[in-house]
Amino acid sequence: MVHYRYFMGGTTAKGYVNFYENLIEQLDRVVYIEGGFTSIVSPILQRIANRYSDDYAIEYIHNHLMPDQLEGIVIPSLSIGVFDRTKMNQKRLVYPSLYEKLIYLGDGYDTDYLKEHEYELVQYQEEVKRLYTESINHFQTALEHHHRVEKIYIDYLNVRKANKETEDLLKDLLADHSLNKPGAVKHRYLGAATPQGPIDYVMELTEQLNRRIFIKGRSGTGKSTMLRKLAHEAKDRGFDVEIYHCGFDPGSLDMLILRELSVAIFDATAPHEHDPVKETDEVLDVYKLFVDGNPDVVHQDRLKKYKGAYKDEMISARDVLKEIKEHQMKFEKIYKEACAPEFIQEIEDDLLEWIKSVE
């Protein structure tokens, strides 16, 4: 059974950005877990996944702050998902009980115990809030330096060549193929900035595919624009498209997967740098194909300065994420201690019963 892992939300240069709304609208049934926290909800999700993973493919959605923990799971063949509701833009339920189920963990906490630790809880959360703002500021400054690097390369970009190569790639990938159905688009992150540094699932997400195209190049050399054009055309031809956004700048695209054609094409440069490992893997070097002149040499000093400043800000952002995680884990530890194990078991039993009813 093939399982996939990815992220749906992350702390980025644009703030906390998630794509849960896109995911949920493509599912028939959804379970929301409310009133919990990652270290409490993740074990529940993992046990549910373990229950079904032998018989069904599971999609594991990881938490960017605690990447070894889950914040959601999807069982595609059942068209059902179970999610930590605190990680998404919360809206009222449209079809409660019928298509949507809300599980509330708040009733399982020992209120007296929480009151004993009220001051600590408030302090931890205030510090987390302050640090989140600080981390986003670092990401925003890093993005400014990144744009300076992009501007250098954009000035050398041969748009005519880029458009021609993109058209040729479209013909190569799609030929005259089309499907007699509307194409669906799934928005996700292939990776995220985490307290441990950048983490991605590119190789796992693409392992089963027959063809993988590794895009090499520089910032501002047309990688994201090319992916956007490919995604648009594939959708118009009725193919389901998995679009993976940049975990640093979500407006930029990093990977496109067309599973119906068994093809993936992705940015294989840092911070998710990968090289071909299978005989069928290919490299597409857009720096060689799209760029006139030699900006690497001409602007060597400026590039070194901007890239160094970018790297420093990203390291600072990572260090702040570490602090956020430390405070958040202390906060959640108190709630875990206040949560009755038998209540969690009741919640799991109820959840499993609801999933069983739709199998």
The pLDDT value recorded for residue 298 is: 97
The pLDDT value recorded for residue 126 is: 98
pLDDT tens readout for residues 224-236? 999 999 999 999 9
Six-digit token string for 33: 């877990």
In contact, 233 and 174? CB cutoff 8 Å: yes
List the strands of the sheet with 185-189, edge to edge.
Answer: 100-104, 29-34, 80-84, 70-75, 59-62, 4-7, 185-189, 241-245, 253-258, 263-267, 211-216, 282-285
In contact, 252 and 245? CB cutoff 8 Å: yes
d(CA 24, CA 82): 10
The pLDDT value recorded for residue 216 is: 97
The pLDDT value recorded for residue 93 is: 87
**Which is it for the CA torsion 277, 282, 287, 292, positive or negative?**
positive
Q: Which segments of the chain have a pLDDT < 50? A: none
d(CA 48, CA 31): 12
The pLDDT value recorded for residue 92 is: 83
The pLDDT value recorded for residue 357 is: 86
The pLDDT value recorded for residue 97 is: 82
